[in-house]
Amino acid sequence: MNFRFFNSFTFLRRCFNLPRNKKLRWGIVKEVSTSKGEDLRLCVLIENTDKYIDIAQRRIFSKVDSGLVKRIALPANRYCGKTEYVYFTNNGWYIHLPKTFIMDIYSNSWWQDGKTEKELLM
């Protein structure tokens, strides 16, 4: 597969069956849970909703604030470095990720001729 012209938002729209009228925006989600503590992750906000795509978990979540878990997702700007992207919010959260981050996570679920069962289960 040629990843030279890979468009993350187009890929995610197809993967999650999102209509074109739903605007997407980079974001950072901060998840705070009583059992795991705090974690910052890359997400894509589905604007004008309380939903976001958690890139690492490959799922759509809602922003919540309950007794056991709190998920806050804020819009992020993306800076393009030589080998990585830096995502940062207005309140100071930031994440450094390699440019191949999305492809690394999702590539094992893409069909490719000749991929062995062992590679698919990794």
The tens digit of pLDDT for each residue in 42-68 reads: 999 999 999 999 998 989 999 999 888
Single-letter code of the amino acid located at 81: G
Q: In 3D, which of 49, 30, 3 has the Cα closest to residue 87?
A: 30
| Secondary structure class of 100 (helix, strand, coil) | coil
Which H helix or E strand runs over 118? helix 117-121
pLDDT exceeds cutoff 70 at 13: yes
Distance (Å, whole) CA 88 – CA 42? 10
Distance of CA 88 to the CA centre of its chain: 14
Tens digit of each residue's pLDDT (9 = 90 or more) over 99-121: 888 877 776 665 566 655 555 55
On whether the CB atoms of residues 43 and 5 are closer than 8 A, the answer is no
Q: In 3D, which of 4, 57, 52 has the Cα closest to residue 25?
A: 52
The pTM (predicted TM-score) of the whole model is 0.81
On whether the CB atoms of residues 105 and 58 are closer than 8 A, the answer is yes
Range 5-21 average pLDDT? 84
